[in-house]
Amino acid sequence: MIPTATERVLVNCALYDGVGSSSVTDRGVWIGADGTIRAVGGSDDVLTEAKSVRPQIVDLGGRYLLPGLVNMHVHLGLGLPGGMAEAVHRANLAELVLLMADSARQTLHSGITTVRLVGETRYADFALRKAIEAGAVDGPRIFTAGHALCCTGGHGWDADGLEADGADGFRRAVREQLRAGADLIKVCVSGGIAGEHEQIDTPQLTDDEMAAVLGIAHDWGRKVTAHAGPADTIERAVELGLDCVEHGYQLTDELTRTMAARGVWYVPTITVSRCEQFFVDSGVPTWMMDRALSAGPRHWESLQYALRNGVPIALGSDMPPHARYDETTATVRELEFMVEAGMPTLDALRAATIRPAEWLGVAGTQGTVEVGKRADLIALTADPTRDIAALRTLHLVLKDGAVYRDDLGLTAPRDAR
């Protein structure tokens, strides 16, 4: 049975609301039957305010409550070279949607209440989004680019890429994604780690082609993010008006200063150049594993340049958000890497909550724990404002006020405990 929201008050929690600089103890949060937050304050005050509706009262026992996480680089139908790609390619459309639905369910149960999809195939993501919105299946809120766009034979052509050539070809490809309902546009402007017949620093689009993508997308009010590796190619795209860089394996000090000055965002996906065991378990070919891991030191340096120069950064794992990695999930490990690279813990939390909401244009409805916003919430047993690794203690997940995971049974009816 699909969970639904109910009048509920969470009390006795230590709240990190996404706005302040620390967790505040003895807080209460009233969640309305419409799935939004109706009150936030001291536990007793919120209980008094909500008493007229006779809500369910959930005592969190001093545990930590914070906004649900947002992962900005997700492929629910991920098909890396090797066995994963073969499984995706063999699947018919119905099988593909079911495969993606399972990944979506696991993603939500891992505390990620919103995802930004940056390349799926056969428009299955739009069917899945509709099913989640209708309450037919469990899954995070989806913002999707539809197909990633690439040149003929370019990065992703054999996975989720839609091939095009020339300015007119890319204009048409953008419009096809917009026609399907894309929230943003993803374009591959260089090679990457998963393309056998390319290198990370292989430029793949001309300026005319990039300008065509950006022009149509911006005319339609959509942002554009680019799979990109080398600094010179990224610099050309930034000059043309790019909104966001994915991976950025070879950023420089100068380029990150330009990105910061122009408000160009960065989703580093730092895990993808240091996840050897995941590659082994996924059966990817040796050439891809070697390329990814050898890119690691330069990729790390790119992240540090971006941090040092104030580039706006959002969390994105590229690995399946729920994938097991170093005894946690890829999403949590990505945040831990970001902190290890020099990002303050509070900034890392914001990079996974309010900052992505800002990029997506939904900061008015999600990303923090405030009155009127969606009740997308997770609970932990440790304080994430002191140590980002506290996210490893996740035990409760709500989206739009509905409970999707409750390891401790805290929200179960009292007579069922």
91-123 residue pLDDT tens: 999 999 999 999 999 999 999 999 999 999 999
The pLDDT tens digits for 356-378 are: 999 999 999 999 999 999 999 99
Write down all domains in the chain, each with its CATH number in brackets.
Answer: 8-67+368-416 (2.30.40.10), 69-360 (3.20.20.140)
pLDDT in tens, 143-196: 999 999 999 999 999 999 999 999 999 999 999 999 999 999 999 999 999 999
Q: What is the reported pLDDT for 413?
A: 82
- Name the pLDDT band for 416 (thresholds 50, 70, 90): very low
- Which pTM value belongs to this model? 0.97
- What per-residue string of b and e applies to 47-64 under the rule 16 or more CB within 10 Å gives b? beebeeeebebbebeebb
**Residue 385 pLDDT > 90:** yes
Query: Cα(236)–Cα(93) distance, rounded to whole angstroms?
Result: 37
Q: What pLDDT is stored for residue 241 in this prediction? A: 98
| Residue pLDDT, tens place only, 193-212 | 999 999 999 999 999 999 99
Please, are residues 108 and 404 in contact by the beta-carbon 8 Å criterion? Answer: yes
Q: What is the 3-state secondary structure (H, E, C) of the chain?
A: CCCCCCCEEEEEEEECCCCCCCCEEEEEEEECCCCEEEEEEEHHHHHHHHHHHCCEEEECCCCEEEECEEEEEECCCCCCCCHHHHHHHHCCHHHHHHHHHHHHHHHHHCCEEEEEECCCCCCHHHHHHHHHHCCCCCCCEEEECCCEEEECCCCCCCCCEEEECHHHHHHHHHHHHHHHCCCCEEEECECCCCCCCCCCCCECCCHHHHHHHHHHHHHCCCCEEEEEEEHHHHHHHHHHCCCEEEEEEECCHHHHHHHHHHCCEEECCHHHHCCHHHHHHHCCCHHHHHHHHHCHHHHHHHHHHHHHCCCCECCCCCCCCCCEECCEEHHHHHHHHHHHCCCCHHHHHHHCCHHHHHHHCCCCCCCCCCCCCECCEEEECCCCCCCHHHHHHCCEEEECCEEEEECCCCCCCHHHC
Which residue is associated with the tokens 């034979």? Answer: 153
State the chain's mean pLDDT as an integer.
96
**% of the chain with per-residue pLDDT over 70:** 99
Residue length of the chain = 417
User: So what's the pLDDT on residue 375?
Assistant: 98
pLDDT tens-place string over residues 26-84: 999 999 999 999 999 999 999 999 999 999 999 999 999 999 999 999 999 998 888 78
Q: What is the structure's pLDDT at 1?
A: 60
Provide the pLDDT for residue 87: 82
* The two three-digit tokens of residue 340, written as one number: 């290890």
